Structure 1
Amino acid sequence: MRHIWNGSAVSAFILLGFPASQGVQSFLFLIFLTMYVLTITGNLVIIAVIRADFHLHRPMYFLLSNFAFMQICYVTVTVPKLLVGFLVRRNIISTTACFSQCYFFFLLGGIENFLLAIMAYDRFVAICYPLRYNTIMTPTFCCHLISGCWLGFFIGSLLPVTLLARLSFCGPNIINHYFCDLSPLLKLSCSDISLLKSHFFGLMWVIVFGCFFFTLVSYINIICAIIKIPSTVGGHRSFSTCGSHLAVVIIYYGAVIFMYVRPKDSFTFQEDKLISVFYSILTPLLNPFIYCLRNKDVKKALQKIVQDRKMIICL
């Protein structure tokens, strides 16, 4: 698809998405729509189960419900516009909407990193300092952590998007991606992008690797504490409480680090799009299943709710 640029300043962009034949486009539309619906439904189920079961009103599940809500927002930033792209000839997005999408995508990505680190800290305190857990992970402290996370990233992400909005786009306006990612956007700018690149990627590395390092240290301490437990059953039970979170951490950071810690010149935007699908769409889809299938408390609460519903229907 080629768009004729008339030499004026760009007021809208065209998201290239995944160009293919009409039949393939329709098939991809159904696939991504199904993934989106399952992601929203799965995370809503987690939130509803945690709210409905009194036994899950604990810091671990309070953090999990916030994580599920963040995942709903995360996929909603990109997937609906991607789905539109499969149905129209040109998937046009205004510059304002494009910059907003870029802002919220990286805002929620930063929050995801921070929430994973907080959840790792919660498991660290629960396993390494079980007697002090209730005095450390108080409801007030958890609320302050979550509020600070959301508010801090909302404010902290304003500077990069402000610098992005001040760039001039006076050339081709086709973004070789399915959403307004920063790298393909910068390729289209005719301004000096050195300040924005250094600020944004520096901030991104601090957030990603800072949270990853904190999470890694937490799990090293958790593993060391579990090794010291004399009972094999006790060690297995302790580790099972953080198994779901550890699985999510491995999947997420594996994809993100592979995406960003590699020689950029050896990968094309086509490959970047496929990797982005994995960590921005597939990972949020897998998370509800991981937490429901691996977490005994969530499974038990879900089964109880289903049984109660059946009894009400029978009555």
Structure 2
Amino acid sequence: MFDAPSLMFAAAGLAVFAAALLPRLLMRAPVSMPMVFLGTGLAVFSVADTLPDPDPVAHGEITLHLSEICVIVSLMGAGLALDRPIGFKRWATTWRLLGIVMPLCLVGLTLLGWSVLGLSLAAALLVAAALAPTDPVLASEVQVADPSEAQEDLDGEDEVRFGLTSEAGLNDGLAFPFVYLAIALSVVGTAPAAWLPHFTAVDVAWRIAVGCLAGYLVGRLLGRVFFRSPIDSIRMASHSEGFVALAATFLTYGITEMIEGYGFIAVFVCALTIRAGERTHGYHGVLH
């Protein structure tokens, strides 16, 4: 009756409208937007025979890149929404979550998978690296609100929401070294001499540093273009061009991945750097 591409386009349009309306409709409801989308998808695909097979294993390449897009767009939004300037004391909650809680989760989940589920050490570590980080997409229901333009709001950000948002922005990228470590353990074995030098020098030091530096440099450049360009026609903040947030997201991620850095970290750092360019400017709300 209807061909699959037409149905997919119509479904995509409805999904975009729903994404705009549901946060307001569900503000006081005991369900979240991801729950609604998952339930709707399950219902639709269970009764419609003409739709493409949604099996993520059968369509691994598409699933991979769609997942990447969802995560990096969420990371850009999370970084732009954070009102608080980055700092050791200001972000103390974040550093504790990343430096204490996340490693404990990694160790606990690895031991659980190894001792209870009977997985190999490499497989248990891989599962732990996937489960330990907070998902920035699903965690959006408990993240901070939209960017604020008032100085008093910058100083009064809710600590719990701030901690969850800032930690979710960094933990996916910081879990990647342990994904690479799990792969290395499965290939070269558990002897430290076989994996430790490459793990510490490349997977931890190089890729994290490149992600932070690339995100900062791209964010600085775009911040100058958005807010301080001497040419009015390319000063985006003067024209409220919000779609360039997607351009910033994809540009940062692509450049960082090309030079073997962690793109997830770079996108979040880029968003923080753009926000720092003009912290109370209303354009951040447009980008967000």
TM (normalized to structure 1)? Answer: 0.32
Structure of larger gyration radius: 1
Higher helix fraction (1 or 2): 1
TM (normalized to structure 2)? Answer: 0.34
Greater relative contact order, per chain length (Cα 8 Å cut-off, separation 6+): 1
